[in-house]
Amino acid sequence: MFSLLNINILELFSVIVSLNTFILGVKQNPIVWFVSIITTALNIFLYHNAGLYHRWVLNIGSILISIYGYYKWSKKVHDRSLSVSKTNSKEYFELIIIGIIMSIIFSFMLKAIQQKSIILGSIRTAFTFIGIYMSAKKKLESYLLWFVLNIISLYLAYVGGLKLFAIKYGIFMFLSLYGYKKWKDSMRVY
């Protein structure tokens, strides 16, 4: 319906805005969270139409975490904005346990709606929440998690028929490494 030369215009628009969102995040611009909410709302529609319900649920949660992200990034403590930091071992342990528990819960949910790629979809959904949370706290390692999640997302988008999203996630894989380097460099400034 929205096709031009077999390209979904809404999917193309979402990919372009998502790429800009990524750049805003690397630059640590708090506006990233508002743009993310807009893109996420559009993605809900696209994923729903593609039958990728695990992504639909994920995007609703992403909107809520984006509100938290904006709060964290725009709040100043002692006249300083939140700066990039490393994740400590206690945080790693807690985040991994939460991710595993969420993956199990999501797998039951996806099985109930007879979703394809239940295990990968569940892991992707759970750890994307973790990735967004880590990004909201400006944890350097969030970009390493994004790298892995983008590999999974590329596969799921491709098998779900969202070819432009698959290309987007391929680009995001490399941008994740770029974001890691830029955030790591920003840590040296302080």
User: Hey, which residues does 77 pair with through a beta bridge?
Assistant: 80
Q: Which pLDDT tens digits describe the chain residue by residue (190 residues)?
A: 444 445 678 878 888 888 888 889 999 999 999 999 988 888 888 777 777 666 676 788 888 889 999 998 888 776 677 889 999 999 999 999 999 998 888 888 777 666 666 788 888 888 988 999 999 999 999 999 999 999 999 998 888 887 888 998 999 999 999 999 999 999 876 5
User: Hey, which residues does 80 pair with through a beta bridge?
Assistant: 77
Alpha carbon distance 21, 170 (integer Å): 16
Quick check: pTM over 0.75? Answer: yes
